[in-house]
A and B are shown apart, each in its own frame.
Chain A
């Protein structure tokens, strides 16, 4: 059984339908010009926006469980990383061994754990958001340009970290990016959303 099953799926203003399956550990890249509905697709899959069609995670439809439980399984990681706690430690609580392992994984200094969130750079915030999401053990991670604010070296770190998590945990990903080379590296297949006619 696929982890994520999407069939005859429509969202937003798109008349066309989408169908795909994600097996454990698979990564589907999403590409397309600005305004083609890449973020909208991720939001709809996280049940944050209305959608129509068939959507299941491990055979269960979002309508079979409270929406917040669905979002713990199929988790959207927005491109803009926002923090509502004053320190990183508060935002990642409770602190377990996984935190230091994930810090190493995404190339973050351990001292950042005590840092005030207001003083973080956008790159640090973005990687910390990835750590925050991975700590919650989602089955599917909907990544919206997860390396948009980081340099080339750190980008490789993040890509490798996600790759490792996919292999170890069977985490599935939908990876939105404007960088076709990056999608070629990280994704098993790529879905191109074509504006304005809909997905191709």
Chain B
């Protein structure tokens, strides 16, 4: 594999600096955001590179699990941060933890134990990249699903209560909301599944090919990860939304939007 030095990395950032300058000249108000993003990428990836090097060298389960824990915590933070409406008593956090832990971690464990079969199963070289990709996509799915669901309930409250008043069962209304939210949540991954390999070459496959691996092996890894990502995102979103629907209704088929911060 051709080694890439810091000079090349610096040169790759040079056109981006030019773009930021152009944005500034055009007064698009994007130059600062772009530069901060570029610096964050450099900082975060450099730190992660050092940490991963240490974890891979020592290959201890404690460090691997700690890293996975940090990934889940960051995922939960991102899910909650992206919500326009949040539940009272930190229930948004609990739901995000539950969804990410159940779906993301279980899917990653299935991939590691049953599919990859690394020995030991938590071998950091396999577990960390796989878990990162699965958790990242599950997080996006959960965040989109929760946001659509909550925003839909708040926006359509009067309409939903009119339908409840006419004797429509709450289960039917929640199923409609769930369908809409799941569609939004799954759209990115369904698009990825549809265009994968035609419009775009996925990152994991590209990385393996650049590292000199057999393209056939890279393709099989990519297929496996795509199916796992879709499974994780679907399970995570579905479980989170089902629990969200239960939280925002009660046994008497009433909407309990008073459990959302800022709603009465």
Q: Which A residues fall within an 8 A CB radius of B?
A: 46-50, 62, 66-69, 71-72, 75-78, 80-82, 84, 132-133, 136
Q: Hey, what's the 0/1 contact readout for B243-264 against A, CB within 8 Å counting as 1?
A: 0000000001110000000000
B165 near A82 with CB under 8 A, answer no
A sample of 30 inter-chain contacts (CB < 8 A) reads A46-B165, A47-B253, A47-B254, A48-B254, A49-B254, A66-B169, A66-B253, A67-B252, A67-B253, A68-B168, A68-B169, A68-B170, A69-B167, A71-B167, A72-B166, A75-B166, A75-B167, A76-B165, A77-B165, A78-B161, A80-B158, A81-B162, A82-B158, A82-B159, A84-B159, A84-B163, A132-B166, A133-B166, A136-B166, A136-B167
Please give, as numbers and ranges, the residues of chain A lying within 8 Å of B159 by CB-CB distance. Answer: 82, 84
In the complex, chain B residues 132-179 whose Cβ is within 8 Å of any chain A Cβ = 158-159, 161-170
Please give, as numbers and ranges, the residues of chain A lying within 8 Å of B254 by CB-CB distance. Answer: 47-50, 67
What's the count of A-B pairs with C-beta under 8 Å? 50
- In the docked arrangement, what's the CA distance between A127 and B165, Å? 16
- In the docked arrangement, what's the CA distance between A108 and B252, Å? 35
B156 to chain A: closest residue by CB? A84
A78 to chain B: closest residue by CB? B162
Give min CB distance, A142 to chain B, whole Å: 8
- In the docked arrangement, what's the CA distance between A132 and B162, Å? 11
A84 to chain B: closest residue by CB? B159
Give min CB distance, A77 to chain B, whole Å: 7
A78 near B169 with CB under 8 A, answer no
In the complex, chain B residues 189-206 whose Cβ is within 8 Å of any chain A Cβ = none
Please give, as numbers and ranges, the residues of chain B lying within 8 Å of A46 by CB-CB distance. Answer: 165
- In the docked arrangement, what's the CA distance between A80 and B167, Å? 17
Please give, as numbers and ranges, the residues of chain B lying within 8 Å of A69 by CB-CB distance. Answer: 167
A48 near B169 with CB under 8 A, answer no
B255 to chain A: closest residue by CB? A48
Please give, as numbers and ranges, the residues of chain A lying within 8 Å of B164 by CB-CB distance. Answer: 48, 68, 71
- In the docked arrangement, what's the CA distance between A68 and B167, Å? 4
Give min CB distance, B104 to chain A, whole Å: 35
- In the docked arrangement, what's the CA distance between A6 and B75, Å? 51
B252 near A78 with CB under 8 A, answer no
Most buried by A among B159, B163, B165, B253: B165
A78 near B166 with CB under 8 A, answer no
B254 to chain A: closest residue by CB? A48
A72 to chain B: closest residue by CB? B167
- In the docked arrangement, what's the CA distance between A66 and B250, Å? 12
Please give, as numbers and ranges, the residues of chain B lying within 8 Å of A49 by CB-CB distance. Answer: 254
Give min CB distance, B169 to chain A, whole Å: 4
Please give, as numbers and ranges, the residues of chain A lying within 8 Å of B163 by CB-CB distance. Answer: 84
Q: 5 additional contacts, CB 8 Å, given A48-B254, A80-B158, A81-B162?
A: A47-B254, A68-B169, A72-B166, A78-B158, A136-B166
- In the docked arrangement, what's the CA distance between A163 and B158, Å? 28
Give min CB distance, B155 to chain A, whole Å: 12
The 8 closest A-B pairs by CB, nearest first: A72-B167, A67-B253, A76-B165, A68-B169, A71-B167, A67-B252, A82-B162, A82-B159
A69 to chain B: closest residue by CB? B167
A51 to chain B: closest residue by CB? B252
Q: Hey, what's the 0/1 contact readout for B65-98 against A, CB within 8 Å counting as 1?
A: 0000000000000000000000000000000000
- In the docked arrangement, what's the CA distance between A136 and B168, Å? 11
- In the docked arrangement, what's the CA distance between A37 and B169, Å? 26
B165 near A48 with CB under 8 A, answer yes
